[in-house]
């Protein structure tokens, strides 16, 4: 499972090795996402069980996101300087330690500290994985660019909550956190001998880290129009999708009067549509231009928002969430193929992506709440359509010399 992170330069000689590398990326991503998914569903249940206040629950839920956002820029610089495998190992060890902290404490204050630190460590882990994948995308194949995000989604949104619910049913909260910490360590165990051998031979001059130089290089990335377009569009789509995730269950229960026990089926339908697109439609990147794919994805997202907000019929809502999932999936395919084609250092490219998506996931629900107060639940979903239309019209009018994605590889 370690070749995916050990092969940071992307030198692969034959098809079987490519397939093995891709399989290792998928395994690491599914396991990493699964562990995060377990914590995301078990932690709120645990803090409620120990009598945490509503305010403390909110802080505990949000503090890791703040920690991740703070670490977005430094983590990309560190990955470029020290390498993806070292930072993934360090981030995984810190995540395991903070998860063990959850197992041995029942103090809300300690849990808040643990989750803040876990926000830092998760930023390092995800940035390292992104950077390693971008570095190898040319060899793996641009048509498989969405598989990385799809694998993470399988672990985070399907396997993690499913396994987390089962573990809570079978074991105590303390034991569940211990099991999750052990699962977090598994991918890094084979890496340790390689990293120890590198540490013994490292040149002391290579350890020097110049923050200002790294920052200047990061800012210089945004002179590339493809990078700017990609991260802005991904940030807006993340804001839209985060707002959807935050309010769709309440909308289903309060407006459509569907039982809460059935609301999860709509989320599953969205997730299935997303995963199918990222795993099965990578060939579109070889056949169609970036502009055509962007327009198609925006049309899918807009159609999904209209169907979700306008028709108070169950089947139309199902169709709406499927369109939305498919549109977001296609957009993610374009995002990862675009960023993989850039010649810049992949740690900083990953940081740029993570920064925009983190801002989107933070601002999106806040904007959705404002729109909901002003125009009702339908306004939450319809309010993003003008923004998406402006982006789509801008893309249609823009002239990009690199129209066909595959030519960039």
**Tokens 């569940």 identify what position?**
176
Q: How far apart are CA 386 and CA 367, in angstroms?
A: 14
Residue range 112-148, pLDDT digits in tens: 899 989 988 988 888 888 888 877 777 777 777 778 7
pLDDT above 70 for 13 = no
Who has greater pLDDT, 105 or 145? Answer: 105
Q: How far apart are CA 271 and CA 264, in angstroms?
A: 11
Q: Do domains 3-206 and 217-397 have the same CATH topology?
A: yes
From the centroid of its chain, how far is CA 314?
29
Structure tokens belonging to residue 369: 């709440």
3-state secondary structure 146-191: CHHHHHHHHHHHHHHHHHHHHHHHHCCHHHHHHHHHHHHHHHHHHH
Collect all residues with Cβ–Cβ distance below 8 Å to 219 and sequence separation of at least 6. none
pTM: 0.73
Which of 1-5, 42-46, 263-267, 404-408 bottoms out in mean pLDDT, i.e. has the lowest? 404-408
Which of 4-18, 100-114, 178-192, 312-326 bottoms out in mean pLDDT, i.e. has the lowest? 4-18
pLDDT above 60 for 242 = yes
CATH 1.20.1250.20 for domain 217-397: yes
Confidence of residue 275 (pLDDT cuts 50, 70, 90): confident
Q: How far apart are CA 404 and CA 294, in angstroms?
A: 12
Handedness of CA 174, 179, 184, 186 (dihedral sign): positive
Q: What pLDDT sits at residue 400?
A: 57
Eight-class DSSP state of 142:
G
Q: How far apart are CA 212 and CA 65, in angstroms?
A: 25
Confidence of residue 11 (pLDDT cuts 50, 70, 90): very low
Q: What pLDDT sits at residue 10?
A: 46
Q: Where are the domains of the chain?
A: 3-206, 217-397
From the centroid of its chain, how far is CA 373?
28
For the chain, the farthest-separated pair of C-alpha atoms sits apart, in whole angstroms, at 65
According to CATH, the superfamily of the domain at 3-206 is MFS general substrate transporter like domains (1.20.1250.20)
């Amino acid at each position: 499972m370690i070749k995916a992170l050990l092969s940071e330069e992307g030198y692969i000689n034959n098809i079987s090795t490519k397939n093995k590398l891709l399989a290792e990326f998928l395994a690491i991503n599914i396991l990493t996402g699964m562990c995060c998914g377990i914590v995301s569903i078990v932690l709120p249940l645990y803090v409620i069980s120990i009598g945490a206040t509503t305010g403390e629950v909110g802080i505990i839920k949000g503090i890791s996101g703040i920690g991740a956002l703070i670490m977005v820029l430094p983590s990309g610089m560190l990955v470029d300087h020290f390498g993806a495998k070292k930072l993934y190992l360090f981030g995984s060890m810190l995540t395991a330690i903070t998860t063990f902290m959850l197992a041995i404490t029942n103090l809300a204050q300690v849990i808040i500290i643990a989750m803040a630190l876990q926000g830092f460590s998760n930023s390092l882990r995800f940035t390292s994985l992104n950077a390693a994948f971008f570095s190898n995308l040319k060899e793996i194949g641009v048509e498989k660019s969405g598989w990385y995000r799809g694998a993470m989604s399988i672990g985070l949104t399907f396997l993690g909550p499913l396994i987390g619910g089962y573990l809570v049913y079978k074991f105590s909260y303390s034991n569940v956190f211990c099991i999750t910490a052990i699962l977090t360590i598994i991918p890094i165990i084979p890496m340790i001998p390689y990293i120890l051998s590198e540490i013994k031979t490292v040149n002391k001059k290579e350890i020097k880290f110049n923050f200002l130089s790294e920052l200047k290089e990061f800012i210089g990335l945004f002179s590339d129009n493809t990078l700017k377009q990609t991260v802005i569009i991904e940030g807006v789509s993340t804001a839209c999708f985060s707002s959807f995730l935050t309010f769709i269950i309440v909308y289903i229960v309060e407006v459509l009067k569907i039982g809460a026990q059935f609301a999860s089926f709509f989320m599953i339908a969205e997730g299935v549509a997303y995963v199918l697109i990222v795993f099965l439609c990578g060939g579109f990147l070889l056949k169609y231009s970036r502009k055509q794919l962007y327009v198609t994805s925006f049309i899918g997202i807009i159609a999904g928002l209209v169907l979700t907000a306008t028709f108070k019929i169950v089947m139309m809502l199902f169709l709406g969430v499927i369109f939305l999932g498919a549109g977001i999936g296609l957009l993610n395919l374009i995002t990862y193929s675009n960023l993989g084609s850039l010649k810049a250092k992949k740690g900083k490219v990953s940081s740029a992506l993570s920064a925009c998506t983190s801002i989107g996931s933070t601002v999106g629900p806040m904007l959705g709440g404002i729109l909901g107060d002003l125009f009702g639940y339908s306004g939450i979903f319809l309010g993003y359509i003008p923004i998406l239309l402006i982006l789509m019209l801008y893309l249609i009018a823009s002239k990009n010399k690199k129209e066909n994605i595959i030519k960039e590889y």
